Structure 1
C-alpha cells in the first residue's frame, strides 16, 4: 500500500472536506486500491492555513490544498486571477485557470506537481450598518479586502482597505475594527459574522485562485498505475466540478443574507462603474510591475483570465 498524507485548512464540516477532498480520494482509491489517504484539516496537526505550502514543499505532507495567495508573492502569475472584475463565477475562473496551466502556470509551481487549480465563489461586499447608494457611502469605511488591486481600488474611492486572511475576519468584525468586508459567501457563514454584517451585495469583485499540489518526491514514488489513477481523477476531471461545489458552499452564507434584518441587493450602477474604473487602473499598474520584474507573460494571462483571448 502507498499512503499519501493530504492536508488542507478548512473545517471538517466544510464542503472543501466533505464534497471535494474526501470524494476525490475515494475516486482515486477506487481506481487504484493500492493507494490510501490520510487526511488532515483545520484542527488537525497539519491543518493550519499558513503552513500548507511549506508542508507540501518539504514533504511533511504529500498533497496540500491552499489559496494561491500563500505564500505571499510565490505565485504571481496564478494570482492574476485575483485581479478585479475579470470573471463572472467560479466555474468560468476554474476553466480559465486550467486552460492557462500548461502554457503559463506549470513552470511557476515547479518542482511541485499541480493536481488542480480552481477559484472560489468570489468576494462580494458585506456592510455592517451602511447601505451603499453612492461611492460617498464607502468613503472613510474600513473594508476588509485581499491585498492587491482590489485594495488599491477601495483606497482610490476613499475607503480604507484592511488586509485580513479569512480566519481573522470574525475577530476583527466583532472587535469593531472593520465596517465591512469583501469576502466569499462561505466565509460569512464560517466566520459567523452574519450578526454583524447586515447589508450584502451580489456583485463579484474578484475570485481567489487555489491550488491542489503534490510533492515531487511523493509523486516519484508512485507506481505507474497509481499515477494514472491520481491524474485521471485530478486536472480536468476536478476542474469541471468546482462551479457546482462553490454554488453549494455559498448557499448557507447566501441564506443568512436573506434572513430577517438583512438586505441583499446589487450595487447601484454608478458605484459599480466607479469601482471598475478604479480597479482597471490598479490592474494595469500591477501588470506593468510584473512586466518590469521580468514576467512578460502577465498581459497574456490577463487576456486568458478575462476571456479576451476567447473573443479573438
Structure 2
C-alpha cells in the first residue's frame, strides 16, 4: 500500500459518516450492498473504503453508496447489477442468488476454516488459479468470509451432533442446510431479520449464525443456549464492473488496486473479531449457556459430516467443476 493510500485511509476514517458531494467530481461511482448502515461491514469497511478512494483520487472520484433497503440494495440482484453496469461496485453474498459462485462456496463446507482472517486470505490467494471463473465480467476487489458460526438454540442445549436431531434450525448457506440435514435436524430458510420473531413464536428451535447477530439482530433475547463450534463460514464478494475499472484513469486504477486485494483481505479477520466480540459480550451479559468445542471435538464433528462433504463435492464435479481439487487447496491453506 502506498503512503498516499495510507494517508487517505486515515483521513477517510474521520469522514466515514459523510456522503460524497453531488456533482463535485469528474467520476461518479455507485456502490451498492445489502446491509443496513448500522452493520459493521457498512460503517467499518465500505463507507471508509469509498471515502478513501475519493481522497486517494485527489477529488476526481465521488462514490455514492446504496445500502440495504434502497432500490439498488437487493441482495439477490447485486451480482447482475454490477455485471450489467447498473452499479459500478457491489458487495454481495456468494449464495444469493443460488447457482453462482459455486467454486467460492466450497469454502462454506463445515469445519474447514477456523477464523475469518484465515478464510479470507485463503480465498484471495486461491482466486487467480481456482476461483476466477466465478467472477466473469468483474474486477474482483475482495473475496472474504466471516468468523466461523455457532449453533444457537432457544431451549435445547446442544453439545453433541446427536443433540441436533429433530431441531428446526435456520440455515445460512446451501452447505449449512446439508450439514443440518446430515445431523438429523430440519433446516429452515429465513432471512436474518425474521429469525427473532420465528424463534420467539416457537416456529424454529434455533439458528446457525455468528456471534455478531446476537447483538445486531437482538437474538440474545430469544437464543439462550450457544454451542461455539466454529461450524461454518459464509462467503462474500466485493467487485467492480470490469468495463468501469478499465475506463478509469491509471492513477485512479492504482488507488482502487492499493485499497483492495491483499491489503483488504488482511483486514477482515480483525474486523470480524471486533464485530463478533460485541455479540458475545451481549450473550455473556445475559448469563446464557456457552459450550466451546475444542479442536479435537471439531475434528470429530467434521469426520461425522464427511459423507455429506463428499456428496456436496461430487455434485459439483458432475457440473464440471474441479471441486475436490479446490477443496484440497482450501484445506492446505486452512492448515497454514
TM-score tier, shorter chain, comes to over 0.9
Query: What is the match of residue 301 of structure 1?
Result: 326
Give the structure-2-normalised TM-score. 0.86
Aligned positions of 1:45-124 closer than 5 A: 45-124=71-150
Q: Cα–Cα, structure 1 residues 275 and 145, in superposed 2: closer, same or farther, change >3 Å?
A: farther
Query: What is the match of residue 213 of structure 2?
Result: 187
- 1:272 deviation in Å? 4.9
Query: What is the match of residue 70 of structure 2?
Result: 44
User: Is there any run of 5+ residues in structure 2 with no aligned partner, and where?
Assistant: 1-25
Contact 2:158 2:226 in 1 (8 A): no
Distance 1:135 1:268 in 2: 14
Deviates more, 1:205-214 or 1:275-284: 275-284
Aligned positions of 1:163-312 closer than 5 A: 163-267=189-293, 272=298, 275-296=301-322, 298-307=323-332
Distance 2:315 2:128 in 1: 24
Distance 1:162 1:221 in 2: 44
- 1:203 deviation in Å? 1.5
Distance 1:270 1:141 in 2: 24
**What is the aligned-residue RMSD (CA, Å)?**
2.1
- 1:37 deviation in Å? 0.5
Contact 1:84 1:280 in 2 (8 A): no
Deviates more, 1:22-31 or 1:5-14: 22-31
Give the structure-1-normalised TM-score. 0.92
Aligned positions of 1:22-41 closer than 5 A: 22-33=47-58, 34-41=60-67
Distance 1:222 1:269 in 2: 47
Q: Deviations over 1:148-170 (max 9, x none)?
A: 33322322332112233333323
How many residues of Structure 1 are paired with residues of Structure 2 in the alignment? 310
Q: Deviations over 1:15-54 (max 9, x none)?
A: 1111101111222222212111001112333222222222
* SS of residue in 1 equivalent to 2:221: coil
Which among 136, 156, 160 is matched to residue 130 of structure 1? Answer: 156
Matched, 1:3 2:28: yes
Contact 2:159 2:227 in 1 (8 A): no
Contact 1:304 1:310 in 2 (8 A): no
User: Is there any run of 5+ residues in structure 1 with no aligned partner, and where?
Assistant: none
Distance 2:28 2:258 in 1: 18
